[in-house]
Amino acid sequence: MKYIRARAPGKCILFGEHSVVYGYPAIAMGITLGSVCEIEALNNNKITIFLESYNKNLVFSNIDDLIVHFPPEFKQFSYCLKRFKENYTIDFNNIRITLSSTPLLSSSGLGSSASSAVALVSAINSFYNIQLNRRQISHFALDMEKLVHGTPSGIDNTVCTYGSIIFYEQGEFRFIETPNNLNLLVTYTNIKHDTGKAIEKFREFTKQNPDYSDQLLSEMGMIAREAEHELINLNIEKIGVLMNKNQKLLEIFGISNENISEIIDIALNNGAFGSKITGAGLGGSVISVGSPSKLEHVAKSLENEGYYSFHTGINRQGVRVESN
Ligand code: MEV
């Protein structure tokens, strides 16, 4: 029986989250954890969708039934199938789709929603031999992301499609080539992040303080530009200093909290060069950079305070598809 599996990386925003929504440049990295979408042909005259991360097994008699009855909290997935149906007359009959993200990814600000969208679009694309290219896959995933939180900048779907480290500005991007892997320590704040809520809080600050916000946003943009050069040379110490500067600016917008501050203090007090929010903030995850031995020490100290960390590096491949 026909079978396809697509894997898309998750992501860490290294610099410029939020300011990227306002058109300033940002830098993101595809990471080794990610999402997987499997599609297998069956002979049961049904469409089955198993959302493993939510433990939801959904069975439909046909695509029209699916479009009407799909749970609204996952509307991005039914939108995806509906669009394939309308644009490429696919009926999706006799298949089972399984979509899963590494457990760590969900609600941790590491791109589970964008990587799931990219994996799903890529798997359908290959299974039905539609031949969308990467750019089209990324744009398709962006339209799905818009249903999840209204105004995505496009950086998440781009990095989850292409992997590597990217410099992203207003819909355009370029790769940043580092001489070696960039090792990041990722620490979960023990608080589920909510991208929509964080974007709203950030926006509220910009409305209340328009001139000051312009100045802060533009500083964030300059930090991202400087960081590109430091990444090309992989100057970890300077990358850390820039991360700390970016963090201080993010804090002014009110998207940090006690857990985030505690993690950052522990990281910096134990020898990390830099530490900051990655992604929307108000929870999710914190990233830290430093020498491997210091990061090891930071991870142990964080664990003692009840924070789980893991080490990650660059996913250079982006989304990839395998068949049997
Ligand atoms: C979310 O990963 C990053 C934000 O900048 C939102 C976006 O870019 O769409 C907060």
Reported as a single tens digit per residue, the pLDDT across 80-91 is 999 999 999 999
Q: Which residues contact 297 (CB under 8 A, 6 or more apart)?
A: 270, 271
* pLDDT for 89: 95
**How remote is the CA of residue 88 from the centroid of ligand 1, in Å?**
31
User: Which is the closest atom of ligand 1 to the Cα of 202?
Assistant: 10
Q: What average pLDDT score do residues 248-255 get?
A: 98
Full-model pTM: 0.97
Q: Separation of 4 CA from ligand 1 center, angstroms? A: 30
Longest dimension (CA), the chain: 61
At residue 106, the pLDDT reads: 76
| CB-neighbour burial class of residue 152 (10 A; exposed 0-12, middle 13-18, buried 19+) | buried
For 18-77, the pLDDT digits (tens) are: 999 999 999 999 999 999 999 999 999 999 999 999 999 999 999 999 999 999 999 999
Report the DSSP pairing between strands 95-101 and 47-51.
parallel
Share of the chain above pLDDT 90, in %: 94
Q: In this predicted structure, what is the pLDDT of residue 242?
A: 98
Q: Helix (H, G, I), strand (E, B), or coil: what is residue 232?
A: helix
Question: What stretches of the chain adopt beta strand conformation (E)?
Answer: 3-15, 26-41, 47-51, 56-60, 95-101, 165-169, 172-175, 184-188, 274-278, 285-289, 309-312, 320-323
Radius of gyration of the chain, Cα coordinates, nearest whole angstrom: 20
When pLDDT is averaged across residues 235-244 and rounded to a whole number, the result is: 98
What is the model's pLDDT at position 85?
97
Residue 194 predicted with pLDDT over 90: no
Residue 205: exposed, middle, or buried by beta-carbon count in 10 A (0-12, 13-18, 19+)?
middle
Any residues with Cβ below 6 Å from ligand 1, and which?
A: 13, 17-18, 20-21, 152-153, 155-156, 195, 199, 279-280
